[in-house]
Amino acid sequence: MTNEALCSLALEAMEKAYAPYSGYKVGAALLLEDGKVYTGCNIENSSFTPTVCAERTAFFKAISEREEESLPRFIRIAVCGGENGKVTGPFPPCGVCRQVMSEFCGDDFEILIITGAEPLEYRTMTLPELLPLRFTPDFLN
């Protein structure tokens, strides 16, 4: 799957966001090594703290729906967001989502941060760039 196709899926997923409180819709599309893609959107809550981000929705779907016992290898994620679903600039992953990526992804995992939709524009970052000196499962024996 091309980066452009993955970004299109993130833009589509953004439309499914449930964001009545912030008004900011976020979409994510997560590519696995076997070619499967899991999408996610943010899902807010009137009690605020139960809100889940688009990126974590995508990761948790991929993990909970996997067919193998072993975890899938994650290749990259495309992320977009904006007020009322309009992409006017980057909507980068929050710290909690970066930490979730850190649990399941290697140093070569890429984050495509969509900065414009029409025409499509995005910048590519690796996980260590987004989260230097990241805490991984390797630190726990």
User: Residue 39: phi, psi to the nearest 5?
Assistant: -105, 165
Active site residue 55: yes
Question: With binding defined as CB under 6 A, does residue 102 bind ligand THU?
Answer: no
The conformation of residue 139, written as its DSSP 8-state character, comes to: G
Spell out the SS3 assignment of 21-68: CCCEEEEEEEEECCCCEEEEECECCCCCCCCECHHHHHHHHHHHCCCC
Please work out the total of residues on this chain that contact ligand THU, with binding judged by CB under 6 A.
13
Regarding 51 and contact with ligand THU (CB under 6 A), the answer is yes
- Exactly one of 13, 19, 30, 105 binds ligand THU (CB under 6 A); that residue is 19
- What is the rounded CA–CA span in Å between residue 107 and residue 105? 7
Residue 5 sits in the site that holds ligand THU (CB under 6 A): no
Selected binder of ligand THU within 14, 29, 53, 111 (CB under 6 A): 53
Among 44, 111, 112, 131, the residue binding ligand THU under the rule CB under 6 A is 44
Given the residues 33, 44, 55, 129, select the one marked as catalytic: 55
Shortest gap between Cβ of 81 and ligand THU (angstroms)? 6
60 binds ligand THU (CB under 6 A): no
Give the CA distances from residue 74 to residues 47, 82, 85, 121, 128, in Å, rounded to whole numbers and listed in that order: 32, 25, 26, 22, 15
Distances (CA, A) of 81 to 22, 88, 110, 116: 12, 8, 17, 10
CB 40 within 8 A of CB 61: yes
The window from 50-58, 70-78, 82-90, 102-110 that contacts ligand THU (CB under 6 A) reads 50-58
Contacting positions for ligand THU (CB under 6 A): 19, 22, 24, 26, 42, 44, 51, 53-55, 93-94, 97
- Positions marked active-site: 55
